[in-house]
Every structure is written in C-alpha cells, then in structure tokens.
Structure 1
Amino acid sequence: MTDTDGVLSLRKFSDVKLSDPFFDSLKADYPGFENWFEKKKDDKAFVSLDEAGNLQGFLYTKQETEELTDITPSLPALHRLKIGTFKVNAHGTKLGERFIKKIFDIAVACNVSEVYVTVFPKHEGLLSLLSRYGFEKVGEKMVNRMAEDVMSRSMTALGPTARQSYPLIRIAPTTKHVLLSIYPEYHSRLFPDSLLKTEDASVMVTDTSATNSIHKVYLCKIPGVEDLKPGDIVLIYRTKEGTIPAEYSAVATSACVVEEFRWLNSFPTLQSFLEYALPYSVFTKEELTKFYTDKQYNRVIRFSYNIALPKRIIRKRLIEEVGFDREARWTSFPITEQQIKHVLKLGGASAGLIVDTP
C-alpha cells in the first residue's frame, strides 16, 4: 500500500509515535519540537500511515484570533486557522493535495477569514504546493536565527485562478452554470462528501485518490459539455435511486468549478490519457483503457469539488421552487445565475464560499 492508499485519520498526539523517522526533519528544524509534541498529547492531528504503520503525512491546525506580533511585518488581529505542523512524504503522489483539501475543509467548518503557515524556504515542494492553492508570502518569522516564510491564504477573496480560489466559487453574469447528471454508482465514489443518508459510506466509498482529491476527472458523452470553460459552475445532479421515483430520489448534491474540457482524441497516447485521468477519476485503469480504445465516452471534464450541499435538493423542489424545466433532458442543461444561487441557498451552502461579482 502506498500513501495514496492511506486514509487520513484523526488521532491524538499520544497515539502517534514520535520516534517515527518521519519526525526527524522536524526535530532538526525546530529545537524543542519533542517537548512541544509531548505537551500536545491530548490534542489531535490528521495523519496518514502506510501499510507498515509508518507516517506519511501529519497535519495539526488551530484557530487564532490575536494579532501576530512575532511575524515581520506583524499581522492584525483576525480569525485565522494556523497550520501548526504540516509535513507530507509525497513520493510523487496526490497525498499533499488530499491534506490541502482537509485544511480547507477545516477552514470552512471553522468559518475563518484566513489560513496561514510558516515554512522554511528549503522546503520547495511544500511551498510550491501551497502556492498552487493561493497561498502567498506575507512576511517572515525567525526560528533559531533562521527565517521562515509566512504563507497566507484568504478565505474571503478570490484568487487569480479557480485553483487559487478553491473552495470559493465565483458567480457572475459572464459565467456559465449548468446541471450535469451522474449515475448513483459513480456519484458516490466521486463525491464522498455528498453521500445521501441512505448510503453506507463504508460500502459505497473506497479511499482512492479520486475520492479524496480536490480535483475530479469525469468522462461522458453528453452533448454540450464541450462548451464549458474554466470558471464555469457545474451543479452535480445525482440521478434517481433504483425504482424510487426521480421526483423524490434524484437530487442536486454539489457545486463544482470547471478547470478544463478536453476531447478524448486530444490525448495522443493511452499513457498520456491515463496520466491525466487516473489520479482523479472514479474509473479503474482497465475501464479507462477501454474508454480510450472504444471512444464511446469522448468528452473529458476536469473540475474542482468546491461545495457539498449540506441539504440535498430533490427534483420535485428543483422544478417547483427553483424553476427547472420538467420537460428538459436532465443529462445536462444551462441554468440561470438566479437559479444556481437559489439552489445553493436551499442546499445550505456556506454564504462565505460564494462570491457574487457583477
């Protein structure tokens, strides 16, 4: 088992082996790290273990509200999430992105205005990962006569790209908003945070990189999705459950932001397609190989998984309250700016995640 297979679990510090070689670099970088770790014995952190029980990732966060005077320049008082300790043995996998998703999940749950972390400049891989998701250097902090970069990320303002804005979504008159239907068996694997109460997570969801990733790749043959552009919003619609009428079992569950559309034939080789799709797809390598060969599902959409609606909106309400066309073909169709706002409100989406721009 590799670290892409390891589950992120919440554990007490006292249940984590400080003797694990994983912590050697932290002990070297931070004098007193062992004493600090011991004092935190009753606190909890997210960890990822390999099959042998060795640490592959560790994340500790805490909320702060005070002015940060130990940073140059100092930062004013604000409700922040501090990433206190964050290390990943990535080995070229997507584990780092999975921890980034967890950081943002915590930030949204705590309703903070900002997230920040201090990192030594020598940790180029971690700095690159943070920068990809909108973290910017705002100052320095001295540790053992060495300067750490202070990296900060706003949870209220959009970044220059959809990735750097995640999990915020931008709703604007110039943005397309579309409904996209997905069958239950694929939906449950692709969007684990959007499981219905009737589903058994232990059965329906396996801990794959696609399941736990920010980014998703989905193949379909639905006409019209090729018109999607980066920044467009996709409302995920889970189709009806078995023999239960769609009016009551088909539901809107999630809001995603388009990153890229590609035709399947734009991939010159099977290997290039697998490298693109496999880490973020619910389909197996064998399934993807078959799709590439027979070209039946020729449309490839990559999007970020921004909002799992706390309340799923059934088809009946989407028609009667939001105004969706009952007679439309519900594989995919455009929806208005007001309709997407209405769905997000009915679904209980955090208002802080939605940036409304003219």
Structure 2
Amino acid sequence: MLVSIFKLRPFNECDINDPFFDSLRADYHPDFNNWFEKKSESNEQAYVYLDGGIQAFLYIKDVDDEEVPDALPKAPRIKIGTLKISEDSRGQRIGEGAIGIALWKWQQSNLNEIYITAFKKHDRLIAILESFGFVYAGKKRATGENVYVKDKRKLQYADAKRSFPYINPDFKRGKYIPINDDFHDRLFQYSELKGVRRSDDDATAASNGISKVFIATPFSYIDYRPGDVALIYRRHTGDGVRRYKSAVTSFCTIMKQTPVKQNDRHVKTMSDYMSIVGNKSVYSPDELKNIYKNSYHKNIIIIEMAYNGYFGAGKNVNYDTLETGGLFNRHPYEVVLTRDDVLRVLRMGGKGEQDIDINKSRAC
C-alpha cells in the first residue's frame, strides 16, 4: 500500500538512540532496546512519520495463533505492535492517520481481528482507538497494559468511524462530492493521480486524518445524508481536456451535513462554524472566516465524512468513463447514485469484493 506521509522504513534506518524512543524505553525497560535490535537484524520495517525528526512510529505484524493472556484467546490476528506519536505533533491528527493505515492493512487481510495494547496513562491514544471502534478486551497482566480489539464480525455501522475502513453493506445510495484539484490533493493525501507529482511538504492536520470536512458553497440546496457513500470527484482546473482529467479518486461515508448559511442567511454563528470545521479542512482560520463573511456565498454547507479508501494512480475513474456509462449526467451535487451504481464505480476503480463486501474480507 502506498503511504504518502508515513514512510515504510527498515528499523535499521531509525536511530534507536533518538529521544523519540525514550518513553518506549521507559515503559518497556529493559526489553525495548533488545526488541528493537532484533527487528533491525531481521530487516523488519515500520511506518515512520518524519517532520524534521521522527514524529510517529507504527509497527504492524500478523500473528499466528497468538494468545493474549487474560484478554484474547489463541487466534491468528493483526497486531499493532508499536504505535507512538510525538508530543510535539499534538493537534496534527497523526495518530488518527496511523490507525487508518493499520486498519487498511487489516482490511486487506483475511483475519477477523486487529488488536493493540496501551497503558492506561495513554488516554489520548485510547480515545482515538475507541473512536475507531476498538473495544476493551482485558488487561495484559504481565505488563499491566490494557488490550483493545476490533473484530470484523462485530462492526458498528451506525458510526462511520467505528466501522472504518468498511462502508455499510446496507447503504442505500451514493453522491458525488466535486473538489477542485488543488484542494483535493491537500485534503486526500493518499488519492494519487498518474503523472501528477505531489509534495509531502503540503501535509496538514486535515490531510493526516481519516475524518474530513468539505465546505460546499452551492447556489441552491444540496442533500447529503449520513450513511451515503460519497465518491470524491477531483475537478481538473489546469491544461488539457477536463473530460479525461477530472476523475473519481476516492470514496467516503457521509457522517453529517450541517448548514451554516441558507438562502443568504447565517444559521450558525462564526464560533460554531469554526468549532465544527476544526482542523479537518484544508483552509486556514483566516480563509475559513473569509468564506463565512463572503456575501457571494448564498449557501455554506459543512459536509463531514470518513475517508474509507482510494483507487490509486492509474486506477481513477474519469468523467468520460462515468458519463459514457450513464453515471454522470447532471451537476455533481445533483446526481444521486443507486447502490448498484456505486458498486460499479468502485469496481471500475479496481476495488474487489474484499474491499466492498465485509464477508469477503474475513475468516469464516
């Protein structure tokens, strides 16, 4: 799997003496250094987020018939062996991005469960885990850590983050969300296009995270409902024939639509608007305020969504293909797709049954 900001690096390319690892050394003394050196010697890799220095470290592995005493019975499962986020990166939503990478890997496995252990003091990490549907399974007596597990057989589809990365198999309809290329590329870091080079330097809290906010300024009412599958349509604004360069790159689940301004009248205060958007959009605080105050915008709608997946460079589905296939014949905001229509687009983008059907992505 392509990782845009988190880079897959060998352990032996990471400095074990980096102060970033000090808290892990303290938590797992005296075993941490020995463990790290063994991973280095066996050429194992981890996802590393670099911004000047190491800001996050994520190690994932498959475990074969492992038992977690006092918590989980013996079974094959995915283990998040190490997940640490630097205190300096607080507010950048790197932890949410790391969990997203781990869950995408879990999705591609045929294993039912993924788990992680965490000390009780790591309350922010635990809060993120719980928001993604991990549940407490017991305490690992040997270390005193809590054990959290997520099971494909027990997903809670009422909350799109808790069921992430899976879309609800019973979803009813789909919608397009049109986003100009520049904003798209900053918001959806993993949604790459063939021949388009992007810089990791453009990373923001919004691009790091899995939950996203899009701010729509339509001329008339739009209708996005919780549970809708949103196909992210990247509108090409540069040179070339837009028919072939504008394309669906990604798919999300709508979590909420919130009107901020309707028919030229604000229905949310500036404070409420800024609070809802938070750090989940690509706009700076000043840009957000300008959108709110701009008299040209008759309507302002906040659309919150979970970033379920992306097609990848060379697999995106362009407008010509969609229009020819009868899937795109009106303004993007106005198109309503049936469940079968959405599944057609996902398959056009190279997504197989394992990505679409939860029953095809787990052990029986």
Which bin holds the TM-score, normalised by the shorter protein? 0.7 to 0.9
| CA deviation string 1:179-199 (max 9, x = no partner) | 222222222222222221021
The residue aligned with 1:134 is 133
Partners of 1:8 and 1:325 lie apart in 2 by 34
Residue 157 of structure 1, CA deviation: 4.9
Partners of 1:222 and 1:245 lie apart in 2 by 24
Residue 136 of structure 1, CA deviation: 0.9
Partners of 2:169 and 2:67 lie apart in 1 by 36
The residue aligned with 2:14 is 16
CA contact (8 A) 1:254 1:308 kept: yes
Cα 1:95–1:266, aligned 2, differ >3 Å: closer, same or farther?
farther
Residue 49 of structure 1, CA deviation: 4.3
- One-letter identity of the residue aligned with 1:56: Q
CA contact (8 A) 2:71 2:147 kept: no
Partners of 2:332 and 2:75 lie apart in 1 by 48
Partners of 1:307 and 1:125 lie apart in 2 by 25
The residue aligned with 1:36 is 35
The residue aligned with 2:317 is 313
1:253-332 correspondence runs (5 A): 253-264=249-260, 265-270=266-271, 272-294=272-294, 296=297, 298-310=300-312, 311-321=315-325, 323-326=326-329, 328-332=330-334
Residue 67 of structure 1, CA deviation: 1.9
Residue 156 of structure 1, CA deviation: 5.8
List runs of 5+ in structure 2 lacking aligned partners.
261-265, 360-364
CA contact (8 A) 1:247 1:315 kept: yes
CA contact (8 A) 1:113 1:154 kept: yes
Q: Would you say 1:189 and 2:186 are equivalent positions?
A: yes
What value does the CA root-mean-square deviation take over the aligned residues? 2.7
1:1-358 correspondence runs (5 A): 7-30=5-28, 31-41=30-40, 42-51=43-52, 53=53, 55-64=54-63, 66-78=64-76, 80-90=77-87, 92-93=90-91, 94-110=93-109, 112-143=111-142, 146-155=143-152, 157-159=154-156, 160-172=158-170, 175-202=172-199, 206-222=202-218, 226-264=222-260, 265-270=266-271, 272-294=272-294, 296=297, 298-310=300-312, 311-321=315-325, 323-326=326-329, 328-355=330-357
| CA deviation string 1:66-93 (max 9, x = no partner) | 2223422542433x22111112234641
CA contact (8 A) 1:229 1:258 kept: yes
The residue aligned with 2:362 is none
- Identity among equivalent pairs (%): 31
Residue 256 of structure 1, CA deviation: 0.8
Residue 218 of structure 1, CA deviation: 1.1
Partners of 1:224 and 1:259 lie apart in 2 by 21
Residue 57 of structure 1, CA deviation: 2.1
List runs of 5+ in structure 1 lacking aligned partners.
1-5
Paired residues in the alignment total 341
Cα 1:180–1:50, aligned 2, differ >3 Å: closer, same or farther?
closer
Partners of 1:350 and 1:266 lie apart in 2 by 42
Partners of 2:12 and 2:254 lie apart in 1 by 42
Question: Normalising to structure 2: TM-score of the pair?
Answer: 0.83
Cα 1:189–1:56, aligned 2, differ >3 Å: closer, same or farther?
closer
The residue aligned with 1:3 is none
